Amino acid sequence: MNALVDVFDFSILDKVIKETTKAIESSKESLFEIAESAKDIHRKMESDLERVNLEVQQVIEKVDCLESLYKKARVRLMEVSRDFQQYSEEDIKKAYMYAQELQVQLAVEREREIGLRLKRDELIRSMVRVKEMSIKADELVSRVDIALTFLNGNLTEFSQQMEGMQQKQWVGGRIILAQEEERKRVAREIHDGPAQTLANVVLRAEYCEKLLAANRDEIVEELHQLKKIVRGSLQDIRRIIFNLRPITLDDLGLIPTIKRYIEELKIREEFEVFLEVCGDELRLKSPYEVALFRLIQESLNNAKKHSQATRIAVSINITGDDINVTVSDNGIGFDVEKVLAEAAGKESFGLLSMKERIELLNGDLKIDSVPGYGTRIKAVIPREQAVL
């Protein structure tokens, strides 16, 4: 390996990386422009769809009105035609011309209704395609970011540490992919939650403007509903921010943050969650607090999604030379060796990610589980290294 480092000209590799990076950055800008353009087109289509829906409603009302008038005109025509002694030829002619005119107008408006409905359906299909294109472009931008992050690494350090490169590439790659998965999850949450809600807020606000202009009584109830939607969106945004990086973790520390997280989880979920803290509530160094919080968060998420547990217990013990964190549940359990083996060959960041994160802090993670008998996850970290 050392001989390979000696003979390899890293300046050539550096030049190739720089040229590749430049080309990728250019592609990234183009992809970003495509994504933004698709979003602009989608917004315009939403506006067009609202206008077409309004036109469809108006033409339906007009067709209904013309149909009613046409029926009455035909009845009138039958009356004057049948009683020709009472009505003159001029009366019959006028009744006939009026019925014929309404028939023509009705046919025109029906054709217009069909055309508008087809236009609306095509617009909806186009919106779906544009949205899919926008999502794909955003995903490609994220993947390009991963490539740029890797290519912009320090090549000199890479050459100096060639001995352990294979292992570091593996760990580094998993970290980058884990970060990307987290970004995708957050982006998906924002897109499916607050972003959709805010789009609804815009439409409702425009509807309120119309009600206000028409001096309609419904404006009060509509504003009340609008306020409820905004409050719900604010709660979603706060939840996403907390899951991404709890502010209390930096301000108050691990244990207050865990307490708050579990209290909120109790409100949202049906299962029972218990927290036991032994020893002093000491502040830990930031990497340790983050790692332990993510461990507990991921363990609770796994129990919620997979274990079918009805009771989960979290224990934090800081009384001896080590910090012990345990999460146990009464769920269905699983085959630990099988799951870890499958995760090693996939882009999986659950249990394996927990283990790697704890081991990077010179700690140890043990997972005990048997199908049908629940799961117990225990992390042990040296206290001396972790405490501030």
Instruction: Give 45-86 pLDDT, tens digit per residue.
Output: 888 888 888 888 898 898 889 888 988 888 888 888 777 677
Answer whether residue 108 shows pLDDT above 50: yes
Listed in sequence order, the residues at least 6 apart from 351 whose beta carbon sits closer than 8 Å to its beta carbon are 302, 336, 339, 340, 343, 367
The better pLDDT of the pair 38, 371 is held by 371
Answer whether residue 202 shows pLDDT above 80: no
Q: How many CB atoms lie within 10 A of CB 170?
A: 10
On whether the CB atoms of residues 223 and 208 are closer than 8 A, the answer is yes
pLDDT tens, position by position, 206-255? 777 777 777 767 777 777 787 777 777 777 776 666 666 677 788 888 89
Answer whether residue 130 shows pLDDT above 90: no
On whether the CB atoms of residues 158 and 20 are closer than 8 A, the answer is no
pLDDT at 86: 79
CA neighbor of 46 nearest in space, from 136, 127, 129: 127
Alpha-carbon gap, residue 253 to 247, rounded angstroms: 9
Answer whether residue 174 shows pLDDT above 90: no
CATH topology of domain 246-386: Heat Shock Protein 90 (3.30.565)
On whether the CB atoms of residues 277 and 288 are closer than 8 A, the answer is no
Alpha-carbon gap, residue 291 to 295, rounded angstroms: 6
The domain segmentation of the chain, as residue ranges, is 2-160, 246-386
Q: How many CB atoms lie within 10 A of CB 15?
A: 11
Direct distance between the N- and C-terminal alpha carbons of the chain, in angstroms, rounded to an integer: 40
- What's the rounded mean pLDDT across residues 177-189? 61
CA neighbor of 375 nearest in space, from 363, 365, 360: 365
pLDDT tens, position by position, 298-344? 888 888 888 888 899 999 998 888 999 999 999 898 888 887 777 65
Q: In sequence order, what DSSP letters do the residues of 257-326 get, joined into one string?
A: HHHHHHHHHHHH-SSEEEEEEEE----B-HHHHHHHHHHHHHHHHHIIIII--SEEEEEEEESSSEEEEE
Phi–psi pair at 110, nearest 5 degrees: -65, -40
Please give the share of the chain, as a percent, with pLDDT higher than 90.
10
- The Cα diameter of the chain in Å comes to 119
Q: Say whether domain 2-160 belongs to CATH 1.10.287.2610.
A: yes
- Count Cα neighbours of 270 within 13 Å in the Cβ-side half-sphere: 4
Q: How confident is the model at residue 151 (pLDDT cuts 50, 70, 90)?
A: low
